[in-house]
């Protein structure tokens, strides 16, 4: 073995040493970019869904309402350790086509649409509550 071979990393021969060095640098840059992208994904999605207006739990609740097309759907927070997932409860209310490859039929969610969806739902609930009060129905038994 020559002195140069002793300085090279294991498995690298002298003709390929420069290529391996550039590959290592490129892979390091790609890994750093992936870490940065992953660390910005959740905050970016939360802002997209309406985070400053809605809390993280409210964002989850609103996503469930859109996904399952059910105004009563909510995330289980904290989720029971051995319990069923939320999908088993609300599966019958979804408009999806179920099968080997399910096809979702829920609305697309654009920038801050969850805030709009929540405001529309709250307005519908308030109108229904006012209509019930006008008819003399006890609204205390009705969920808020």
Encode pLDDT of 60-110 as tens digits. Answer: 889 888 888 888 888 888 888 887 777 777 777 878 787 888 888 877 788
Q: Please, are residues 143 and 122 in contact by the beta-carbon 8 Å criterion?
A: no
Mean pLDDT of the chain: 83
For residue 141, name the pLDDT band (cuts at 50, 70, 90): low
Q: Is 112 left (phi over 0), alpha (psi -120 to 50) or beta?
A: left
**Exposed, middle or buried: residue 135 (CB in 10 Å: 0-12, 13-18, 19+)?**
exposed
Which whole number is the average pLDDT over 56-61?
A: 90
Contact 117, 66 (CB under 8 A): yes
106 vs 109: CA distance, rounded Å: 9
Q: Is the pLDDT of residue 20 over 80?
A: yes
pLDDT of res. 4: 54
Closest CA to 59 of 42, 81, 84: 42
Label residue 17 exposed, middle or buried (CB < 10 Å: 0-12, 13-18, 19+).
middle
pTM over 0.75: no
């Amino acid at each position: 073995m020559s002195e140069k071979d002793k300085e090279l990393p294991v498995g690298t021969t002298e003709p390929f040493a420069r290529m391996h060095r550039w590959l290592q640098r490129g892979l390091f840059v790609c890994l750093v970019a992936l870490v940065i992208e992953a660390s910005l994904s959740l905050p970016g999605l939360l802002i997209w869904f309406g985070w400053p207006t809605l809390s993280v739990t409210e964002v989850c609740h609103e996503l469930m309402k859109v996904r399952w097309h059910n105004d009563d759907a909510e995330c289980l927070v904290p989720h029971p350790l051995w319990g069923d997932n939320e999908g088993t409860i609300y599966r019958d209310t979804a408009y999806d086509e179920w099968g080997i490859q399910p096809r979702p039929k829920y609305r697309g969610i654009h920038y801050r649409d969850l805030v709009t969806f929540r405001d529309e739902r709250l307005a519908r609930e308030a109108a229904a509550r006012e209509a019930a009060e006008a008819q003399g129905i006890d609204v205390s038994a009705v969920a808020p």
